[in-house]
Amino acid sequence: MYYIGIDLGGTNIAAGIVDENYNIIKKASTPTNADRPADVITADIAALCKKIVDEVGITMDDVGSIGIATPGSANCETGEILYANNLPFSHYPMQAKLSEALGTSKRVYIENDANAAAKAESVAGVAKGSKYSVMITLGTGVGGGIILDGQVYSGFNFAGAELGHMVIVKDGRECTCGRKGCWETYSSATGLIRTTREKIEACRAEGRATIMEDMIGGDLERTSGRTAFNAMRQGDAAGKEVVEEYISYLTTGLVNIINIFQPNVLSIGGGISNEGDFLIDLLHDRVFAETYSRDGTPQCELKIATLKNDAGIIGAAALGM
C-alpha cells in the first residue's frame, strides 16, 4: 500500500508517494501562486497527486490515504483548514474539496505543517522509536510539534504547540502575534539576523572592527543566519558575542520545553539546524545545566532533525498510516 503526502507551502506545493516504510518513492512540486482562489489551488493539488500516481505506474486504488501538511490551524476531525497565513484558506473544507477534485472517496487527513514534521521525525527520523518527542523548527519563525504517546498533540482547538510564542523576555521584542518577547523573536533565523545587524550597527557606532562587516559588504540586507556563526569560527569577537546571545535565548526556550514535556528526544530543524553538531555542542551543557531533572534521572536527547525538506511529505503521508 502507498500513501500520498502533500506539503502545502506559501511558495510551493510538494507532493510525494510514500511506501509503508516511510520511503518517498516519487515526488514533484508546483508553484502555489497563493493569490489565487482556494478551489483553484486545491485543483492543482489534485492534479499533482494524479501526476505522481501516473508516473509511478499505480492507481488511486493502490493509495491508502492522502495527507496534507498546511501552515496555520487545521481541524483534523472535520478536515478543515481553519486559518493559514499567506494562503486563501479560512474554514476551508479541504478534506471534502480535495476528495471531490480527485474523484475518490479516499480519506484525506489534514495537519499543521510543524506537527506533521514532528510526526515524520518520530516515525522515520531522529526520534524514531520514541513515545514522546518534540521538534522545533528554527526558520522565519519558531515552529513546534509535540508527539505524546506516538500521537500529535494540538489541543482541543487544534491550535496547540505554538512553542515559538512563549514569552522569554518580558516586554521584549514585538512579535507578529501581538505579544512582546516571544521566543521566536530571538531564536528564529529572523531573530538571529536582527541580533546580528544590531551588533554590526553597534560596532560601527563604536568604531570597532568586525569581519561581519566584510562578510556583508557593508550592506545590512545581506546579513544571514550564518553570518555570526561564520565570523565566530574565524575568531571574530563580535560574531562570538552574537552567537553567545543567540544560544542563551535558544537555551531558555529549550529548557522550558524539556521541563514541561520531558520528551525522549527534542529535535531541531529549520535553516539554523544546518549548523549541525556545532549547534548541539554549543547548547548541550547549557541546556542540561538548567533542566529540572537531574541527579541520575534519565535525560532527554537533544538532536538535529534528519528529514529536512522531506519531513512535510513524510509526516503528511504518515497521518493515515
In whole angstroms, what is the distance from residue 142 CA to residue 186 CA? 9
Domain that residue 137 falls in: 128-305
Is there a single domain that holds both residue 190 and residue 106?
Answer: no
Q: Do 152 and 171 sit in the same domain of this protein?
A: yes
φ, ψ of residue 229 in degrees (nearest 5) = -60, -45
Residue by residue, what is the 3-state secondary structure of 205-219? HHCCCCHHHHHCCCC
- Write the CA distances from 67 to 118, 129, 219, integer angstroms: 14, 22, 42
Residues 6+ apart with CB under 8 A from 141: 164, 176, 184, 188, 190
Sign of the C-alpha dihedral, residues 221, 227, 228, 232?
A: negative
Measure CA of the first residue to CA of the last residue in the chain; give whole Å.
10
- Count CB atoms within 10 A of the CB of residue 40: 10
pLDDT (tens digit per residue) in 107-162: 999 999 999 999 999 999 999 999 999 999 999 999 999 999 999 999 999 989 99
pLDDT tens digit at each of 321 positions of the chain: 999 999 999 999 999 999 999 999 999 999 999 999 999 999 999 999 999 999 999 999 999 999 999 998 999 999 999 988 789 999 999 999 999 999 988 999 999 999 999 999 999 999 999 999 999 999 999 999 999 999 999 999 998 999 999 999 999 999 999 999 999 999 999 999 999 999 999 999 999 999 999 999 999 999 999 999 999 999 999 999 999 999 999 999 999 999 999 999 999 999 999 999 999 999 999 999 999 987 788 999 999 999 999 999 999 999 999
Question: How high is the pLDDT of residue 88?
Answer: 94
Query: 177 and 243 in one domain?
Result: yes
pLDDT at 300: 96
Looking at the fold, whether 136 and 174 belong to one and the same domain comes out as yes
Asked if 184 and 114 sit in the same domain, the reply is no
Considering the domain architecture, whether residues 49 and 108 belong to the same structural domain is answered as yes
Q: How far apart are CA 139 and CA 15, in angstroms?
A: 21
Which set of grid coordinates corresponds to residue 42? 486545491
Q: Which of 257, 258, 210 lies closest to 234 in space, CA to CA?
A: 210
144 and 75 both lie in a single domain: no
Integer Cα distance of 107 and 68 in angstroms: 11
Same domain, 175 and 284: yes
Element (H, E) at 155: none
* Residue 73 shares a structural domain with residue 162: no
Q: What is the Cα–Cα distance from 220 to 7, expressed in whole angstroms? A: 32
- Together in a domain, 108 and 170: no
Total domains present in the chain? 2
Q: Region of 132 please: left (phi>0), alpha (psi -120 to 50) or beta.
A: beta
pLDDT given at position 117: 97
In angstroms, what CA-CA distances link 290 with 188, 248, 283, 286, 302? 21, 11, 11, 7, 14
Residue 85's pLDDT is: 76
- Domain identity same for 176 and 54: no
Q: Tell me the CATH number at 301.
A: 3.30.420.40
What does the block give as the cell for 145? 510539534
Give me the pLDDT at residue 296, please.
81
| pLDDT at position 11 | 92
For residues 88 and 157, membership in a common domain is answered with no
d(CA 144, CA 287): 18
- 28-32 contact pairs (CB < 8 A, 24+): 28/52, 28/55, 32/8, 32/87
What's residue 295's pLDDT? Answer: 79
